[in-house]
Amino acid sequence: MRENKYFEEFGKPFPASDVSWRLQYVNEQRMQGIAVPYLDARAVADRLDEVVGQNRWKDSYTPWHESVSGKKTKSSQLCTISIYDDELGQWIDKTDGAEDSDIEAVKGGLSDAFKRAAVKWNIGRYLYSFNTVWVAAEARGNSYVIPESENAKLEKAYNDTVARMFGTPAPKQTTDAPKGTTTTTPPPAQKNNAGSNVTPPPAPAITQPQNNGDENADVYEVRKINVQNNQSSMLLFGKGKQFQAFMQGADERLKVGTRIKNVNAGRGQNSYGTYAILNSYDIAA
């Protein structure tokens, strides 16, 4: 791969419509806070699609470490974004990681890891060079949000900064939809057909049909499992890949090291990519 082959294209500024803002610090006495810009995972995936093409990049996730605070254990994960280079005939990888977030832990952690790995490819890296922007803060529940009345101020700050950094105006907005959420927490998770929240990573879905007890059926090993709010999320290993799947309810037979076969699963999709929801399976010997 030529040095910095994609660096310039990846590093181009995004339209203001693709950039959201969150509060990094709040002065509760003055009800003001420092706003920082960020991209969502959809915008990052779109940039990868635009520059290298949908079939020329992929992302994968592996467990990183766990930290314990009191009775609470917080996991973390590494995301690797790989881009195929025709000149070398191989995949080039860049990796970074993030801990599960405090709210919608798995979804937030995977999304953060994905975006941090993208920064290694120069996607959105310029956002880290923005000057401090103070805005009004509004209490909402146990956190604070940026009121809509500050949107015009933030858009001007973004456009002025892009013009100064790049010497050209920011691209025009790609949509007339309102700006992304300005809360300090991520938007609600999507729901599956059973009405339960799912927090999917951009990982391949298991879609093979039932194998009716065939001894040669594909087998998947449980590498990690977590059960919360009557929903199970597990890290599965099979076909040489690790990925995450979700299941309504809990199965006491499923533990780390358990192997399953005859897997029947549905495919779901949101802005982070496709994911698997297990419908049925058998315990492998």
Q: What is the pLDDT of residues 175-211, one digit of tens each?
A: 443 344 333 333 334 333 334 343 444 344 444 433 4
Could you give all domains of the chain from N- to C-terminal order, each with its CATH number? 7-166 (3.30.160.20), 189-285 (2.40.50.140)
More confident residue, 135 or 178: 135
Mean pLDDT confidence for 232-260: 81
Q: Sign of torsion, CA 78 265 222 247?
A: positive
More confident residue, 174 or 233: 233
pLDDT computed for residue 230 by the predictor = 64
Longest dimension (CA), the chain: 67
With beta carbons less than 8 A apart as the criterion, state whether 109 and 76 touch: yes
With beta carbons less than 8 A apart as the criterion, state whether 273 and 200 touch: yes
Q: What is the pLDDT of residues 206-227, one digit of tens each?
A: 444 334 444 446 888 888 887 7
Radius of gyration over alpha carbons of the chain, in Å?
21
In this predicted structure, the answer to whether residue 113 has a pLDDT above a threshold of 60 is: yes
What pTM, to 2 d.p., does this model score?
0.57
> To 10 degrees, what angle do helices 41-52 and 105-120 make?
40
Residue reference for tokens 């779901």: 268
Q: What is the pLDDT of residues 70-91, one digit of tens each?
A: 666 667 788 999 999 888 889 9
Mean pLDDT confidence for 233-250: 77
d(CA 136, CA 7): 36
C-alpha distances in Å from residue 146, one per residue of 80, 103, 160: 32, 18, 20
pLDDT computed for residue 278 by the predictor = 80
pLDDT computed for residue 196 by the predictor = 39
